């Protein structure tokens, strides 16, 4: 009796296992920051958001695509307007538009293929196009303008593929040794010219100060000459005589034949 029940128990166990697998295959979970591309017989059927969802077992498959911000780094080279070769490193932060994930998968495949197939080539193309409009020196001084041009080009280039440009960084410029030496020589010459200009300005200011001082002194002397008059001369003579009287001790000098100092005192009327 027990031997007859054993095959049935095994059959029920196997059947239950397949029912469990069938049930487990009817639902799936999409994590936060992802979208699920539902494929039916290999074709894109629909796109679902994060959460729990159901699918047809053995008929539908799920491809998970992240919509989080991702990063790719590209090293490239280009020629400037004055034909200088520039080597640069660019870092792009990007993401997938959630509502276009199905189209992105159709066109480019998985997330890992997006950067290789479209983003990195577009970065190189946009940098070469933008750098050709600047001289090598302008690329250094106008890096922000260059970055804006490259970013705008990328936005237009990647938008049809459902890719969002979040931020672009141009982290480094490298030029040929000859160009670097030329830049250093130019900077040195500019520093010397600036120092000479400052010295010239200082000398000019000092000369102007000396001229102003001389003019002030000349003006003061002229004013003094204008003030001097016969009355002022007579007044100073009287002042000198009064000072001599104050110093006289009342004795006449004993020198014979010498002139006796004469001080005229007006009589009272």
Q: Please identify which residue in the block is written with the tokens 């593929």.
A: 161
Kindly report, residue by residue over 45-80, the tens digit of the pLDDT: 999 999 999 888 878 899 999 999 999 999 998 888
Global pTM exceeds 0.75: no
Kindly report, residue by residue over 100-156, the tens digit of the pLDDT: 999 999 999 888 889 888 999 999 999 999 999 998 888 888 888 999 999 999 999
In order of their start, the domains of the chain are 16-66 (no CATH), 70-175 (3.30.479.30)
Kindly report, residue by residue over 166-212, the tens digit of the pLDDT: 999 988 788 777 765 666 666 555 666 677 677 777 778 877 887 87
Between CA 115 and CA 119 the distance in angstroms is 5
Q: Which helix (H) or strand (E) holds 222?
A: helix 177-227
- pLDDT computed for residue 81 by the predictor: 87
Cβ contacts of 86 within 8 Å, gap of 6 or more: 77, 78, 79, 80, 131, 136, 139, 173, 174, 175
- pLDDT computed for residue 84 by the predictor: 86
Kindly report, residue by residue over 2-57, the tens digit of the pLDDT: 555 666 666 666 666 666 666 666 788 999 999 999 999 989 999 999 999 988 88
């Amino acid at each position: 009796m027990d031997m007859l029940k054993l095959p049935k128990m095994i059959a029920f166990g196997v059947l239950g296992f397949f029912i469990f697998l069938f049930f487990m295959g009817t639902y799936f979970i999409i994590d936060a920051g992802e979208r699920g591309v539902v494929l039916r017989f290999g074709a894109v059927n629909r796109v679902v958001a994060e959460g729990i969802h159901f699918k047809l077992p053995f008929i539908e498959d799920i491809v998970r695509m992240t919509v989080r911000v991702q990063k790719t780094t590209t090293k490239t080279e280009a020629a400037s307007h004055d034909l200088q070769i520039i080597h640069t490193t660019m870092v792009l932060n990007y993401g997938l538009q959630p509502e276009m994930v199905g189209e992105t998968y159709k066109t480019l495949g998985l997330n890992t293929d997006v950067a290789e197939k479209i983003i990195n080539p577009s970065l190189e193309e946009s940098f070469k196009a933008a750098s050709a409009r600047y001289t090598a020196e302008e690329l250094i001084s106008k890096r922000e303008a260059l970055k804006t041009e490259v970013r705008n080009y990328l936005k237009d280039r990647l938008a049809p593929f459902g890719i969002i440009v979040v931020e672009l960084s141009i982290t480094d410029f490298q030029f040929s040794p000859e160009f670097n030496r030329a830049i250093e020589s130019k900077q040195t010459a500019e520093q010397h010219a600036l120092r000479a200009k400052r010295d010239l300005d200082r000398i000019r200011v000092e000369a102007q100060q000396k001229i102003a001082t001389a003019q002030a002194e000349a003006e003061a002397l002229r004013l003094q000459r204008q003030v001097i008059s016969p009355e002022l001369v007579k007044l100073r003579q009287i002042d000198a005589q009064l000072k001599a009287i104050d110093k006289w001790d009342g004795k006449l000098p004993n020198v014979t034949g010498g002139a006796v100092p004469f001080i005229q005192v007006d009589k009272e009327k």
